[in-house]
Chain A
Amino acid sequence: MSGRNLWKLKPSGDLSEHTLAFWLLLPAALLLGLIVVYPVLKLLHDSLYSMSVFSAHAPQFIGLSNYADALSDPDVWRAIRFTLALCLVTVPGALLVGLGLALLSNRPWKWRWPVRLALLLPWALPLAFSGMIFAWFFNTEYGVVNDLLRRAGMAPISFLLIPQWGFFAICVATIWKSSSFVALILLAGLQTIPRSLYEAAELEGANAWQTFRHVTLPLLMPALAVALIFRTISALQSFDIPYAMTQGGPARYTETLSILVNTTAIEYMDVGYGSALAVLLFLLSMAVSSLYLRKLYRGAV
C-alpha cells in the first residue's frame, strides 16, 4: 500500500497508530541515515584503506596501518595535546565566567532586556566571526589589547605570532564566545530555585557565600552538568575560532585535531588517513564524555 493511500484512511480504518508513527518518524530517520549512520560506516571503512585523490591506484586495503601511522605521527600528538590543553583551560573558564554572568544577570534589574540581550548577542554571533573579531583585538599594531598595554606603559605583544600567546588569545576568544551559552543555561537553572529557600537561608542568618555554597550551587548542579557536557564536546571539536584567528599557526602550533582532519582530508585529499584521524577524534570525544557521564551518574546515585 502506498503512503498516499495510507493518509486517506479514517481513524476507524486500518491506519493504526503504529503505522502513522512509522510514517511520521520516517523523515527524521532518513535524514539521520543519510547524514550520520551511512557516513559513520563509510568513515570506519575508509579509515582501513589507503585512498588519496592524488594517487593513481584504486583504494587499497591496508588494515590498521592508518591508525598505526597516526599514533606515531608527531603532528597528530601535537594536535591532540593542543586540543586537550584548549579543553582544560576553556571548559572550566567558560563555566566560571558563565556562572558569574548568570549570577549577575539574575539580579533584580530594572531593565531586563539589555541584560538578556548582552547574553544573547555573543551566543548568536557565529564562532568564525568571534574568532575574526578577537584576531583584530589581538592584532600587534592595531589591536585594542595592545593599545591598552601601550597606555599602561608596557611593550606590545605579537599575540598571534607567538605560540604561547596564540594559545592564550584563542582561549580568551573561546571563553568569551561560549560563556554566554553557559550563562543562558545556568540562568534558567537559577530561575527554577524557589525564593522560599533563599528566605529560609536569610532567616537562619546565612551570609551571601554560605547561601551560594549551600543553596544555589547544589540546586544548580543539573544545569552545570548539562553545560559541562555540551562545552566539553564542542571544545574537543574546536575549529572555527582557532582557524579564524591563526589558521593553526604559527608553525602549526595552534592546530586542533579538527583543523588537522580538515587539512589532511579536504585540502590534501588524503581520505584514508583523514578518516582514521576523524575516528581518533571521535574516540577521544566519546572517552571524555563517558568519563563525565559516569562521574555524574555516580554522583546522582
Chain B
Amino acid sequence: MLKLPLRWIAAALLLINGFFPALWILLTSFKTEAELAQTPITWLPQHPSLDNYLLAFAEQPLLLFLANSFAVALLSTLLTLFAATGAAYALTRLQLRHRGLILTSLIAVAMFPPATLLVPLFEIMRGLGLINTYGALVLPYAVQSLPICTLVLASFFQQVPRDIEHAAMIDGCTRLQALTRIVLPLAAPGVFTAGILAFVNAWDEFLLALALNAAPGSRTLPVGILLYQGEFSFPWPVISAALVVAIVPLAIIIVLFQERVVSGLTAGGLKG
C-alpha cells in the first residue's frame, strides 16, 4: 500500500496526464481573443464567453465537417462489421481448410501501413471518381478496422454455446439463419464493442482524409480544423472551440462505454 501523500501524487500524475491537454483547450475556448494575446498568459478565462464557438461555426462549415466525420465513421463501421461478422463466423464455427493461414493473412494484410498505400489509393480513388466523396474514406477505414473487429467478434462467437446453434438448425434454421437469428443477437455486446472501436478509428484518421478528401466541402473534422489555420496565423480562439466541438462526441462515447472499449482493445490487442 502506498502512503497517503504518495497516493495523492500518483492520482495527480494520472489525472493531469490524462485530462490537462483537453482541459487546457476547454479553458482556452472560453477566453476572448484579446485575453489570448496577453503575455504573461492567463490560466483561467477572465471574462468567459461563448463567442469563439459562434465564430467557429460561422468562419468555417464546422457543422458540415461534423456531418462528414459522422457519415464516414458510421458507414465504415457498418461496412467493417458486415465483413468482420462473416469472416469471424467462418473462422470460428465453420469447417475451413487453412484456418490459421486465412486468419493470419487477414490480419497481416489489413495492418498494411496506410502511409505506404496512400499513393496507389489516391490513383485508384481518382480512377473510380471517388476523390472528395465518402467512398474514398469509407473503404480504407473499413479495412483498417477489419483485424481488430474480426478478433473481437471471434472471441465473442466462441462464447456462444454450439448446442444452441445446433438446436436451432434441428428446428429448421439454415446455418446462415443460425448466425443471424441466434449467434449474432447473443454476441450483440461483441458487435457493439467492435463497432465502437471501428467508429473511433475512423473518427481519428487524418492522413488519408487529408490526401483523398481535401476539398472544403468533403473534409472531415481533423482535416477541416487543421486547415482553419492560415499560412502564417493560427487562430487559436476559434480552433480551440472547434476542437472542443470535435472532442465532445468522442468523450461521450468513452464515458458511456469505457468498459466495452477497454475489453475490446485488450481482446484485439493481446491476441493480435
Contact = CB atoms under 8 A, between A and B. Distances in A.
Interface in A267-282: 271, 274-275, 278-279, 281-282
A90 to B, nearest CB: 16
Interface in A1-47: 7-11, 15, 17-18, 20-21, 23-28, 31-32, 34-40, 42-43, 46
A162 interface: no
A8 B173 CA distance: 10
A6 B114 CA distance: 36
A113 B120 CA distance: 43
B113 A275 contact: no
Tell me if B's interface is mostly helix, strand, loop or mixed: helix
A117 B204 CA distance: 18
Contacts of B114: 237
A220 B13 CA distance: 22
A25 B102 contact: yes
Interface in B83-138: 83-84, 86-87, 89-90, 94-97, 102, 106, 109-124
Interface string A73-90: 000000000000000000
Contact of A34 (B13, B139, B211): B139
Tell me if A's interface is mostly helix, strand, loop or mixed: helix
A132 B244 CA distance: 12
Interface string A108-131: 010001111111111111111110
In this complex, the member of B2, B97, B174 whose beta carbon has the largest number of chain A beta carbons within 10 angstroms is B174
B143 interface: yes
24 contacts: A8-B174, A20-B90, A21-B96, A28-B86, A31-B139, A34-B139, A43-B116, A43-B119, A101-B17, A107-B2, A114-B15, A120-B262, A122-B18, A124-B200, A124-B254, A125-B250, A126-B222, A133-B22, A142-B36, A188-B262, A262-B115, A266-B211, A271-B119, A278-B117
9 interchain residue pairs of minimum CB distance: A118-B18, A24-B86, A188-B266, A39-B120, A126-B204, A258-B115, A128-B222, A42-B120, A27-B83
